Amino acid sequence: MSTRIAFKANICAKADNLPGKTTAWMRFTQTYPVSKIQFGQHVGIITHVIIFKLPIRYNRAVEEPPIMLNMSPSLLISRIITLIIALTVHEFAHAFVAYRFGDTTARDAGRLTLNPLKHLDVVGSLMLLVAGFGWAKPVPINPYALRRRADSAVMWVSLAGPASNLLLAIISGLLLRLRVFPWVTSTGVLPSPAEFLFTFMSINLVLMLFNLIPLAPLDGEKVLSNLLPAKWSSGLASIQRYGPILLLVLLFVLPMVGIDIISWIMTPALTQLQKFILGVS
């Protein structure tokens, strides 16, 4: 099954800062066969993503290049590079923290590496080239080996992925904030450095926020499980088994009647994070 989320975020720059207005549209998914999700064991850290158009509009009019796969070549290139880096680092972070806690499962599976070929799914990679979206393979972990080292180990392994995306977003955002590259738009096939960095920052921020939703099979579910009192664990487990169904309801059913809870939560968070990192009020 798969779940998706779409939302919009606007940032209005000051006249003496970034010279433009940006509008971001993103769509994400967490995809995993329900029959393979073992909520009691958490055999894999699950992180898959689908990302659609992220148009950037500027005050200064520029000639738009030909559209391919519903996006300009420069945006498509930015999207592909961003997804490869973001997904690879995300999955590596899960594997690295698991290894530091004594679980060699990911290392033995060849996932303790920054080589994208070890993390990217074949079908997901082909879809990324053809349709502009893709996904990576989940990192396998052994929760029993992790808990021998620390009861909270699974939580830290789960947090590692979103934390890595936040770090990537901060680095790219600071490069924009410090004006390392001029804020200009692309007039050709390749994106300008500033365009790429903004796309890179935005996608990584949404990856972080979406993965922190406290519903299975997202990373946030394991974080919440560890933070809640032990007496609530059985009640939480009974709810989390319906996590994928709840996500479907939140993402598809409720928005059909005008109740888009996830967008209400994530859009302000994304906007404020972008403004904070970029220094825009």
Across all residues in the chain, what is the average pLDDT? 74
Known catalytic residues are 91
pLDDT, one tens digit per residue, over 203-261 is: 899 889 988 988 887 888 888 888 888 777 777 777 777 777 887 788 778 888 988 88
CA distance 142 to 216: 17
The answer to whether residue 1 scores a pLDDT higher than 70 is: no
Q: What is the pLDDT of residue 69?
A: 54
CA distance 96 to 101: 9
CA distance 68 to 237: 45
pLDDT, one tens digit per residue, over 144-196 is: 999 888 889 999 999 999 999 999 999 999 999 999 998 887 778 888 899 99
The answer to whether residue 10 scores a pLDDT higher than 60 is: no
Q: What is the pLDDT of residue 19?
A: 35
Average pLDDT rounded to a whole number, residues 115-129: 78
The answer to whether residue 22 scores a pLDDT higher than 50 is: no
Q: Are 133 and 90 in contact (CB under 8 A)?
A: no
Q: Are 262 and 5 in contact (CB under 8 A)?
A: yes
| Bigger pLDDT: 281 vs 11 | 281
Share above pLDDT 90 across residues of the chain, in percent, rounded to a whole number: 32
Share above pLDDT 70 across residues of the chain, in percent, rounded to a whole number: 72
